[in-house]
Amino acid sequence: MSLWKKLFGGGGGAGRQEPPLDPVEYKGFVIRPAPFVEGGQYQTCGIITREVGGETKEHRFIRADRFASKDDAVDITLRKARQLIDEQGERIFG
């Protein structure tokens, strides 16, 4: 099974997806941290959404960064998401 399926709704496996955490707004975008357990550590993962032209657009991202603490993974997820938004803006959905 592919990594994407394991992470975003396609079954079990080593990676254990946890429900997304409380959303954080940033420059009109909504960031939902969604770190998951892989190899006994939390891996950086998140979802960025924004309403564009009456339609909700979504961008899911995963980074190789892993942390012993879920809080650390959430902090880095938020930092990476803000960086993506700052660098790409709405192009992130294209």
> What's 57's domain CATH number?
3.30.160.350
Asked if residue 66 belongs to a domain, the reply is: yes
Longest dimension (CA), the chain: 41
Specify the pTM.
0.79
Question: Facing residues of 45 across strands?
Answer: 62
Long-range contacts of residues 70-78, Cβ cutoff 8 Å, at least 24 apart: 70/35, 70/42, 72/42, 73/33, 73/35, 73/42, 73/43, 73/44, 74/21, 74/33, 74/35, 76/44, 77/31, 77/33, 77/34, 77/35, 77/44, 77/45, 77/46, 78/24, 78/31, 78/33, 78/46
Q: Give the pLDDT confidence score for residue 21 in this predicted structure.
A: 84
Rounded to an integer, what distance in angstroms lies between the CA atom of residue 90 and that of residue 69? 31
Tally of domains within the chain: 1
Query: Which structural domain range is residue 35 located in?
Result: 17-93
Can you give the pLDDT of all 94 residues of the chain as single tens digits?
455 555 555 444 455 556 668 999 999 999 999 999 999 999 999 999 999 889 999 999 999 999 999 999 999 999 999 999 999 999 999 8
Rounded to an integer, what distance in angstroms lies between the CA atom of residue 42 and that of residue 92? 24
